[in-house]
Amino acid sequence: MQAILALIRKQFIEIRTSAQLRSLTLIAPLIQFIIFGFAGNLDVKEINLAVLDDDQSPESRELVQDFTASYFKVIKYISQSREADALLADGEAKMVLVIPPDFSKQVLAKRTAAVQALIDGADANSASIASGYASATVAAYSQKRLADASSRQSVILKVASVNVETRVWYNPDLKSKRFFIPGILGLLILITTVIASSTSIVKEREVGTLEQLVVSPVKPYQIIIGKLAPFTITASITLMNLLILAALVFGVSMRGNLLLFFLLTLVYLITILGLGLFISTISKTQQQASFTTSFFVLPPFLFLSGYSFPVENMPAWLQPVSYLIPLRYYLTIIRGIFLKGIGLEELWPSLVALLICGIVIFTASFLRFKKNLE
């Protein structure tokens, strides 16, 4: 026990003294969190709109008015359709609204009038959102005309036939942040913990202090506990700070039970520390350890865990791979507790899966570590 305490104490002194370790575990995640927290926003607002109004009637102007009243900003009125191409091509406009010359005539004649929306589809997500907004705006316009007409003449007026698409993206600003912030949190904790733990172990091997520990009466399991317990603590402190930042800077606060959140996070931490330990056993230098982390750990965690793309959208053959990624379960847990305020009744399958991941990774890494020592 005394040996473990000595190792833990030593590790804390190293974290305190080494600027690199200190900023990696305690400071960098906070700064990154603020930056990435602001970046992580999929809400589409103020879509740049160019208008080609060949009708120039009160009716067409009213439609444009309705567009600016919703999510669009008119940046330019154009008179030639080929100008539309240029505006979309260089990204100046995200959408061009084309109103044909007979728009008002059709509307007043109570016939179906067509307007055209040209949308820059390079970013499929924003394009579909813009298209949704456009449909909704046109639908609202039709409703209004319909209401006007019926109040005046009690005759049903047929205006543009419109498809209304309802999307989850119509949320107010907060909602997409709410979705992203827990993920960023889980990812930042992953990166800093894996890099700090793996490089710190590799450093001991590089410098030769690990060899000194081997010739001392300290046992391998004591080395591991002494090495990883301090990083569990720094990660918990960082997590606490991140929660405070999430509430203060982004107004995203925890809905569920804080204690449960920390307990489940501990399971996640042990899993990723096991990963750090594993990387340390396959790396000869500290650079190699960071490289392995950023090249072989980070991409699958980013892209296959459901952090960037929903797992349900992946092809069937790829989905099973995501079961191997601990972040997948942690995302379910953290989003569940954070956003929905749910508890263990709903989250236990993820907890069990995370535990299995943790036990497997940790055992394998420990055995490898022990074998390397001998």
Chain residues binding other proteins by CB under 8 A are 2-3, 5-7, 9-10, 13-14, 17-18, 21, 207-209, 211-218, 374
Q: What minimum distance in Å lies between the beta carbon of 16 and other proteins?
A: 8
Beta-strand relationship, 116-119 and 95-99 = antiparallel
Q: What minimum distance in Å lies between the beta carbon of 25 and other proteins?
A: 13
Report the distance separating Cα 112 and Cα 100, nearest Å: 12
Half-sphere exposure of 333 (CA within 13 A, CB side): 27
Cα separations (Å) of 206 from 47, 139, 199, 200?
54, 68, 10, 10
Following CA atoms 143, 145, 151, 156 in sequence, which dihedral angle do they give, to the nearest 10 degrees? Answer: -80
Report the distance separating Cα 23 and Cα 5, nearest Å: 23
Name the residue nearer to other proteins (CB basis): 208 or 310.
208
Name the residue nearer to other proteins (CB basis): 21 or 235.
21
Instruction: Give every CB contact of residue 370 below 8 A, 6+ residues apart in sequence.
Output: 220
Name the residue nearer to other proteins (CB basis): 265 or 281.
281
Q: What minimum distance in Å lies between the beta carbon of 293 and other proteins?
A: 21
Q: What minimum distance in Å lies between the beta carbon of 226 and other proteins?
A: 9
Q: What minimum distance in Å lies between the beta carbon of 369 and other proteins?
A: 15
Name the residue nearer to other proteins (CB basis): 18 or 128.
18
Nearest Cα to Cα of residue 234 among 21, 1, 3: 21
Two structure tokens written together for 231: 């990083």
Report the distance separating Cα 25 and Cα 62, nearest Å: 56
Q: What minimum distance in Å lies between the beta carbon of 217 and other proteins?
A: 5
Beta-strand relationship, 95-99 and 47-53 = parallel
Q: What minimum distance in Å lies between the beta carbon of 219 and other proteins?
A: 9
Report the distance separating Cα 252 and Cα 174, nearest Å: 8
Two structure tokens written together for 175: 């909602």
Name the residue nearer to other proteins (CB basis): 98 or 213.
213
Two structure tokens written together for 248: 């203060």
Name the residue nearer to other proteins (CB basis): 17 or 151.
17
Nearest Cα to Cα of residue 186 among 347, 281, 308, 289: 308
Name the residue nearer to other proteins (CB basis): 158 or 219.
219
